[in-house]
Amino acid sequence: MLVIKRRSLVILAGFLACFISLVTLLGAYQNLSQKADIDTTFKVVIDAGHGGIDGGVTGVKSGVFESDLNLTVAKKLATKIEDAGMRAVLTRSSSAGLYGTATSSRKKKDLLKRKEIITSESPNLVISIHMNSFPSSTRRGAQVFFNKDSTISKKLAISIQNNLNDLYGIRDYSALSGDYYLLKCSNYPTVIVECGFLTSPIDDELLNTESFQDELCFNILCGIVEYACNDYK
C-alpha cells in the first residue's frame, strides 16, 4: 500500500503553488527567450551508480545486484520527475557500465563518462542513486551525501534526507559530507542518495518491493521540490 506522509502532502501542496508561479514566470520568460533558443526547463540528471562488471553491493536476502536496483530506482525517479513537469536525464539506461570497451582503468573511465554526461547536460541538479552496506545487518535507512564545499548541495542533501527519514520512520539521519568523485566533478548541486542498506534483510526486502520503490522515489521528489522552491536560485 502506498502511504503518503502528511508532511509530504504539505510539501507537495507548497510545491504546486510554487510550481504554478514558477511555470507562469518561466512561460513569460520562454516567450521572451524563444528566439534565443534558451532552454528554461528545470533539468535533473539521475545517475544510477555502478553497472557492467561493477555490481556494487549484493542484497543479503534477495541476492540482487546494487547496480540493477540502482537502475530500477533511477528509472522510476526519472518518470516521477517528468510527471512533475521537470526534465530527467539518466547517465545510464541499461545494465552496462559506462567504461565502453575499455579493458583497463574501467572504474576511472566509468566515472569520467558520468562527469562528461553531467557537464554536457548542464543540469539544475544531480542525484546519484546507490544502495548502502554496513558490517551490522541491523543498520537500516537512507543516507544522503554532499560535497562539504558546496552550500547548495548541502541544502539539497538536507531536504532529501529529511524526506527519506520520514519515509523510513526509524531514526533521524543527518545528511553527511562525503569525499566522492561524483560530488566534486562539477559545480552543479549534487548529492549521493544511499537509498537503504542491502546488508539489512528488512531494507533489502523493502527496496525490492515496487510499492516501496514508488514511495522512495516520491520522497526523493519531495526533497527536490522542497529544495527547488526554497533554495534554488
Q: Applying CB under 5 A, which residues contact Zn ion? A: 49, 56, 130
Nearer to Zn ion, 49 or 51 (CB): 49
Q: Residue 184 is placed in which grid cell?
A: 566534486
DSSP 190-220: EEEEEEEETTSHHHHHHHTSHHHHHHHHHHH
User: CA-CA distance, 140 to 158, in Å (whole number)?
Assistant: 18
Residue 145's DSSP bridge partners are: 176, 192
Q: Show the beta-strand stretches assigned E in 80-213.
A: 87-90, 125-132, 143-146, 176-177, 190-197
By DSSP bridging, strand 176-177 and strand 143-146 are: parallel
User: CA-CA distance, 76 to 212, in Å (whole number)?
Assistant: 11
Nearer to Zn ion, 8 or 91 (CB): 91
Identify the CA nearest to 159 among candidates 134, 189, 197.
189
Residue 176's DSSP bridge partners are: 145
Q: Residue 131 is placed in which grid cell?
A: 544502495
Nearer to Zn ion, 43 or 130 (CB): 130
Please identify the residue of the shown chain whose CB is closest to the bound Zn ion: 130
Nearer to Zn ion, 49 or 123 (CB): 49
Nearer to Zn ion, 56 or 178 (CB): 56
Nearer to Zn ion, 84 or 207 (CB): 207
Minimum distance from residue 145 beta carbon to Zn ion (Å)? 11
Minimum distance from residue 38 beta carbon to Zn ion (Å)? 35
Minimum distance from residue 31 beta carbon to Zn ion (Å)? 43
Minimum distance from residue 57 beta carbon to Zn ion (Å)? 6
User: CA-CA distance, 202 to 166, in Å (whole number)?
Assistant: 17
